Amino acid sequence: MDRIQKVLARAGIGSRREIERLIAAGRIQVNGEVARPGTAIGRGDRVSIDGREVHFARALERRRSRVLLYHKPVGEVTTRADPQGRPRVFDRLPSLKTSRWINVGRLDVNTAGLLLFSTDGELANRLMHPSYGIEREYAVRVRGNVTPELLQRLTAGVELDDGPARFRSVVAAGESGGINRWYHVVLTEGRQREVRRLWESQGVEVSRLIRVRFGPVSLPRNLKPGRWLELPPHTIRALYAQVALEPWLPARSGRKRRGRRH
């Protein structure tokens, strides 16, 4: 027996946050009764979402932990449905039969780079949670007058609309090219447009933004935008170790798979 949001997340039904939203909306039932936050379920319980039974026990028995690394291009949205009909990151991912891909955080439509997807909603939830302090590294091209004092403020901390924020580190990348210059920045939160807003708070414009690392996983140089690869078990174990969670993996490593751009 364990909390329903945790069990369904580990079964790949959705992220813990998604499950919690469904519970709050009264859309999940356990044994014919509306579920509440913290409701405990076991393999013998009947769970349904919007009246459709969810075979979570079967999904737990058949599945193993899988994680994809996707190189998101500019122009794609990180949502399952888009009213404007824009391309979605999910359009390029391989199909699943007993679970679904759960994105680990988001990148806005104008940001490219590394985006992780997992079949384990609990893993995705912990990787996104600020309490675990998972590092995100970005390559950012900025336009403006960047002084040592400005960089010091960005690492010391500035006040944004949703509270204080800062970069853990800011490192210049290469020589200055005219009014544009590249930097690598690291932070441990995933607030909306946080990297852009930090620079903009100092009067500096971000002209290009690419996420190049998430925790122990880096974006491979040879992985083109619009393509994905499945992470090997040893890398998946490193992700689980970052958030103190036990992975569900086969004893032996499987073959590395790559996805083609369509």
Contact 45, 57 (CB under 8 A): no
Q: What tokens appear for 213 in the block?
A: 């690392």
Give Cα 214 to chain centroid, integer Å.
Answer: 9
| Residues annotated as catalytic (active site), given as ranges | 108
- Sign of torsion over alpha carbons 105, 108, 114, 118: positive
User: Which of 209, 179, 184 lies closest to 196, judged by CA?
Assistant: 209
Q: What tokens appear for 204 in the block?
A: 């500096």
User: Which of 66, 69, 67 lies closest to 221, judged by CA?
Assistant: 69
Ranges of H-type helices in 11-55: 16-24
